[in-house]
Structures are given as C-alpha cells and as structure tokens.
Amino acid sequence: RKEVEQDPGPFNVPEGATVAFNCTYSNSASQSFFWYRQDCRKEPKLLMSVYSSGNEDGRFTAQLNRASQYISLLIRDSKLSDSATYLCVVDVTNAGKSTFGDGTTLTVKP
Amino acid sequence: EAGVTQSPTHLIKTRGQQATLRCSPISGHTSVYWYQQALGLGLQFLLWYDEGEERNRGNFPPRFSGRQFPNYSSELNVNALELEDSALYLCASSRGTPGNTIYFGEGSWLTVV
C-alpha cells in the first residue's frame, strides 16, 4: 500500500464546475499536509497548506480529517487555468521526507 | 529573492556514465531535498540534506549519492547510469526541518541513451 494515495483521475469538468479531490495517508504520525499543483513538465508549486480546522483560499478549500487520515481539496467555479495535476503531500516531522501522492489530473474544458 | 536554481537544465548521457546535477537553495534555507520524477509518474523521494549532512534517503541504490556544501548548495551524483534513470530530477529547499513549505527548482532533465 502506498503511503499517500490519490485518485489519479483524470477529472474532466466544464468551466464553472465544482470538483473535489481526496487523498488518504497511512502514517498516523503525519503532521503537515499540503496541496501542490504541477503543470505539464514543470516543477510542483505550493497551492496551499492544509490546517486541522480546514482553510480556504479564494475558490480553493482544503480540509483534513485526522481520524480517517484523509485530506481533501475542493475547487469551486473551475477555470480553464485550473487544468493541472494536483499533488497531495504529507510530512512526518523530522523525517525529512515529504511524501507525494502520484497526483490527480484535472482538465477544465470550455 | 531568487528561487531554487538547478543546473544543468538538460543533460544527455550514455549508459554507464556518471551524471552530476547541482542545486542552489533559496537564501536562508538549510534543507535541500532531491526527488526523481520519471515521465508520467509521481515524485519519488531520493535524499534529504540539512546542515551539510544526509538526514534521510529514499529507496534508491547506492549509485545515487550526493552532498551538501557549507553554503547549503547541493549536488546529486548518479553513477553507472541506466536507461531507467532518465527522468526529471527536482531539487527543493526549505527552512530547517520539514513541516515548513518546500519550494522546488525547475528541475534537471536527465536522458540516458
């Protein structure tokens, strides 16, 4: 079983749609959680951190469920520019090993 | 402020040769991480350096090695190159220990022929 698992998709949605991605992790000692975005053949870039209480940044909402060991990312009012691969990242403090999920690919169509 | 910089951008080597990739972290960052991303696949953790020492290592053979210099820059060496080593090698840096956000460089594309 992978340490971090994501639905690979692809998710194909029309502009304006709401889409949600889930990510599960296996290490209960995980302390920090992030969502990164990666465009084709580019480096991953931080989208947002995920806090225990949940957090929102514009059209993006991230949530953490420690009991069930999953995090989620909700994108509202999808834009064409949201098309990318979204990577779930989990850190075990002091392990120096940010573990990345394999990513979920989103394509937003006109 | 300059981001994480990597060189070379592209590198072509033949099987059996050695490749050296270089990384300069963001100013003030002491931790450097290396990841491998084969085409179409996810990021695989290679190495973590902090304060000049190797702190953790991913599930890669010993021919993958590296070091961190006193100025916190780092290099990744891959010996006895194999075709399957062809990938994007990403370097990232952060302040101190993980839990802090890691920032990636644009990567080095290594092609082994």
Residue A17 above 80 pLDDT? yes
B107: chain A residues, CB-CB within 8 Å: 43
| pLDDT attached to residue A96 | 65
Contact B98 A92 (CB under 8 A): yes
Contact list, B21 vs chain A (CB under 8 Å): none
pLDDT at A93: 63
pLDDT score, position A41: 86
Chain A positions in Cβ-Cβ contact with residue B88 (cut-off 8 Å): 41
Number of CB atoms found within 10 A of residue A102's CB: 19
> Which of chain A's residues have a Cβ under 8 Å away from the Cβ of B106?
42-43
B42 with A96: Cβ contact below 8 A: no
Facing A32 at nearest CB: one of B42, B45, B99: B99
pLDDT averaged over every residue in chain A = 91
Lowest mean pLDDT: which of A16-25, A36-45, A90-99, B22-31? A90-99
**CB-based contact B99 A31, cutoff 8 Å:** yes
Nearest CA in chain A to B59: A97
Q: Which residue has the higher pLDDT, B100 or B18?
A: B18
Tens digit of each residue's pLDDT (9 = 90 or more) over B21-57:
999 999 999 999 999 999 888 899 999 999 999 998 9
Asked if B56's CB is within 8 angstroms of A97's CB, the reply is: yes
**B98: pLDDT confidence band, cut at 50, 70 and 90?**
low
Q: Reply yes or no on whether the pLDDT at B67 is more than 70.
A: yes
What is the model's pLDDT at position A31? 83
Residues of B in contact with A99 (CB under 8 A): 45
Is the CB of residue A93 less than 8 Å away from at least one CB of chain B? yes
The predicted structure's pLDDT at residue A34? 93
Q: Model confidence over A33-83: pLDDT tens digits?
A: 999 999 988 999 999 999 888 899 999 999 999 999 999 999 999 999 999
Buried b (16+ CB within 10 A) or exposed e, B32-57: bbbbbbeeeebbbbbbbbbeeeebbb
A92 pLDDT band (50/70/90 cuts)?
A: confident
Q: Of A42, A87, A95, which has the smallest distance from its Cβ to B98's Cβ? A: A95
Residue in A closest to B102 by C-alpha: A46
Surface-to-core class of residue A103, CB atoms within 10 Å of its CB (0-12 exposed, 13-18 middle, 19+ buried): buried
- Whether residues B50 and A96 touch (CB distance < 8 A) is answered with yes
Q: Do the Cβ atoms of A32 and B102 come within 8 Å?
A: no
Query: Is the pLDDT assigned to residue B99 strictly greater than 80?
Result: no
Residue B57: its pLDDT value, please? 92
